[in-house]
Amino acid sequence: MLRSLLPLGVALLGATSVLAVDPPSCSLDKKCPEEAPCCSQYNQCGVGAFCLGGCDPRMSFSIDSCVPAPVCKDKTYKMDSLDRYKHISEYLGDSSKVDWVGQGEPLLYNGHTLLTMPPKSVGTVLATTTYMWYGNVKARIKSSRGAGVVTAFILFGDVKDEIDFEWVGVDLNTVQTNYYFQGITDYGNTGNLTVDDSYNKFHDYEIQWTPDEIRWLVDGKVGRVKKRSETWNAKTQQWNFPQTPSRVQISIWPGGLETNAKGTIDWAGGKIDWNSDEIKKYGYYFATFGEIKVECWKTDKAPGTNKGVSYYYNDIRATNDTVVDSNKPTILKSFLGTGTNMNKGETTQSGSASQTSAIHAIPGGGVVGSGNAPGVNNGGSSSGGPDSGSNSGGGAAANPGCSSDSFVQNCGQAATDGDSNGNNSNNGVRGAERLGASAFAVIIGIAGLLFL
């Protein structure tokens, strides 16, 4: 039976902890200060949620500033409920109670999860609370459609290793594949696969990732293989190959915002139309996600183990030989905690960060629009709320170096990208001044203000 949904109202995320002053920024060349030691996935410094999923130890005050990451667990996510989803302002690191964390507006429809993008928003992003250190992940997906609308299904690591499936909404017969090592841009890493009508038809997309190769599959057929042996970088004496623990991440984001770089807009199929038939009919763009299945890599010897409780890094090189499969805890006592002081502070009754905190503790904040699931008429009855599966989340807060009215990927970092020789002049933040936006854009985008 069609599930009615509450209209998507205004959601101010982590309002008690979003301060008037932007958090300090961080990069490989500019680490976080001691009082705000954790460099979040938004390249901002803080405590609490900044120290959880996405915290980059290379850019943080110290290598142990980030909270250890929960190890891989074999799991099938049915995507027919939001009961085990939490907004990042409600999650302190207990992966036994929460499967997905995110920002934006995930909704339920016909036993599936919709990731939505209302007008003038930066979309929705969800990430698993546990990490994969090699293994297989398969997702049943119907992509979004429309010029400038991008859907992503990726593996994304805290040190910005990445393996992608992405769909551009003007080409429903192509899915793009890509990979990155520590966020270094190399436009030679891309490859396209053919698919039949990705918007109207469900397809199974799978990433098979081992220490030696990546395989991208569509409907059980291998479409592309990338071997680690093909990625050796003689200059840096390392493999430019994704190799560190990563979260499964799904998203919809506006590559075609008019404030984006021209190369990003062109790649995304043109400027996004906030008055399209899709918006008029449903109130938002959307992508549909069915079952997602994670199978951990099976090995008794590193790299790729999952014997303990958590992963952490013992060296700033952040390659697979620096990952430790450990029994360190993963849960903060409050949003004032960090990897070096996980018991600091006390959780309020609501679980929110303390109002008296002078340090940023929750990345994000903003407002979102309203709309209905496909097939639900405007004005229909509502049956929402966290317990019934409808959830109100939000967009995001400003990112240092990004203008508050634009969606950018380099966010004030140098526009010069890394290259196949390993020259990472963008300080670990991938630029998008030319062709080739990637799913990392949604992370930076979700950190940008929503457009009013």
Q: Which are the catalytic amino acids?
A: 162, 166
Residue 356: other Cβ atoms inside 10 A: 9
Residue 329: other Cβ atoms inside 10 A: 14
Rounded Cα gap, residues 172 and 195, in angstroms: 7
The dihedral formed by the CA atoms of 413, 132, 290 and 101, expressed in degrees to the nearest 10: -60
Rounded Cα gap, residues 368 and 382, in angstroms: 18
Closest CA to 53 of 132, 164, 113: 132
Q: Is 269 left (phi over 0), alpha (psi -120 to 50) or beta?
A: left
Rounded Cα gap, residues 247 and 50, in angstroms: 16
Per the document, the length of the chain is 452
The dihedral formed by the CA atoms of 178, 189, 179 and 414, expressed in degrees to the nearest 10: -110
Contacting residues for 230 by C-beta, under 8 A, at least 6 apart: none
Rounded Cα gap, residues 58 and 132, in angstroms: 19
Beta bridge partners of 338: 341
Residue 340: other Cβ atoms inside 10 A: 16
Closest CA to 144 of 291, 259, 286: 286
